[in-house]
């Protein structure tokens, strides 16, 4: 089985410097060899070099920031991830900010149109051009993927290929008012940290999969934003929110998804190695690597 590592040094979906250095830190922490150790054939054709679009050539569209750059990068990521998936490989995308998921999930759905998405995050990332306050597109990818909100011509390539009953969230605890309304109006299933406390992570993952993959026969795209984890576990990330998943809860999700045998694609997003102190950076990078290993079968006996 081949895992194709797609390094995406990209930060255009949000304002903080450094998240584009996530991929190089994850790879330099030994991720390739770690996955080979697990028996994977690892394909790593280097970190993708994205063509820059200068700020002068990419003024905001409404509130959206760096719209042309984010769109172009995500479109190219969609082609790369889709290509690997169509090759029968498992794309592992290393971010970079979470706007990239517009590309990764578009790519997965091209190769696996019936795939479901398990979105692990403190945030819903489902703002539309109307509801966004910040205009940071890493808070919006899901709205484009399900095809809601006013059309933005620069993003015309994003097909509304994700059905609202094929995505489920785990870890939510910082949702904008507009996003809450969107989740409700679209009947999108979301397990917040409240549910994790109430039912325990085992039951939550079971309920989440029962919702999006009731017969356990659909490919799964796992999109993991490391800020889903408690900041004490993954401090070096752009939008930390207290009261997150424990180290084990985060890894349990990855292990349980692997155990289904249905994992088709994986994203490890929002590792920003320039925010915490040395120890915090090393800790966050290490947890990114261990989440990937857990999702790819490490702890299965
Ligand atoms: N890390 C973020 N999303 O996962 N930030 C954007 C969310 C703010 N509503
Ligand atoms: Mn590639
Ligand atoms: Mn996110
Ligand atoms: Mn987040």
ipTM given for this complex: 0.91
Strand-pair partners of 283: none
Query: 116 in helix, strand or coil?
Result: strand
Torsion of CA 12, 17, 21, 26, to 10 degrees: -100
- Which ligand has the shortest distance to the CA of 5? 2
List, in order, residues 6 or more apart from 180 with CB less than 8 Å away. Answer: none
% the chain with pLDDT above 90: 98
Task: Check: pTM over 0.90? Answer yes or no.
Answer: yes
| Residues 6 or more apart in contact with residue 16 via CB below 8 angstroms | 238, 272, 274, 275
Could you tell me if the CB of 176 is within 6 A of ligand 1?
yes
Tokens of 47: 């970190």
What integer is the mean pLDDT of 10-25?
98
What value does the mean pLDDT take over residues 221-241? 98
Per residue in 90-112, pLDDT tens? 999 999 999 999 999 999 999 99
pLDDT of residue 285: 98
The conformation of residue 113, written as its DSSP 8-state character, comes to: T
Q: For 235-253, what is each residue's pLDDT tens digit? A: 999 999 999 999 999 999 9
Cis peptide before 286 (omega within 30 of 0): no
C-alpha 135 – ligand 1 centre gap (Å): 11
Ligand 1 proximity of 98 Cβ (cutoff 6 Å): yes
């Amino acid at each position: 089985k081949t895992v194709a590592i797609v390094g995406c040094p990209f930060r255009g979906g949000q304002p903080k410097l450094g998240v584009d250095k996530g991929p190089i830190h994850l790879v330099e922490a030994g991720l390739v060899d770690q996955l080979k150790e697990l028996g994977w054939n690892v394909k790593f054709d280097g970190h993708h070099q994205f063509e820059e679009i200068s700020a002068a050539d990419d003024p905001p569209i409404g509130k959206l920031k760096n719209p042309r750059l984010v769109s172009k990068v995500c479109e190219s990521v969609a082609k790369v991830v889709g290509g690997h998936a169509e090759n029968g490989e498992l794309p592992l995308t290393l971010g970079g900010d979470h706007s990239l998921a517009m590309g990764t999930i578009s790519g997965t759905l091209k190769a696996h149109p019936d795939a479901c998405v398990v979105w692990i995050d403190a945030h819903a990332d489902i703002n539309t051009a109307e509801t966004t306050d910040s205009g940071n597109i890493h808070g919006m990818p899901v709205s484009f993927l399900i095809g809601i909100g006013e059309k933005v011509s620069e993003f015309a390539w994003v097909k509304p290929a994700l059905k609202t009953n094929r995505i489920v969230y785990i870890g939510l605890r910082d949702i904008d008012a507009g996003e809450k309304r969107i989740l409700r109006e679209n009947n999108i299933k979301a397990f917040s940290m409240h549910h994790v406390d109430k039912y325990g992570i085992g039951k939550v993952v079971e309920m989440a999969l029962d919702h999006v993959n009731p017969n356990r026969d659909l490919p799964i795209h796992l999109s993991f934003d490391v800020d889903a984890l408690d900041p004490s576990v993954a401090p070096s990330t752009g939008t930390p929110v207290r009261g997150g998943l424990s180290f084990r809860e985060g890894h349990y999700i990855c292990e349980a998804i692997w155990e289904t045998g249905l994992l088709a694609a994986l994203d490890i997003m929002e590792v920003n190695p320039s925010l915490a102190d040395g120890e915090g950076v090393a800790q966050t990078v290490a947890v990114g690597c261990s989440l990937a290993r857990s999702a790819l079968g490490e702890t299965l006996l």
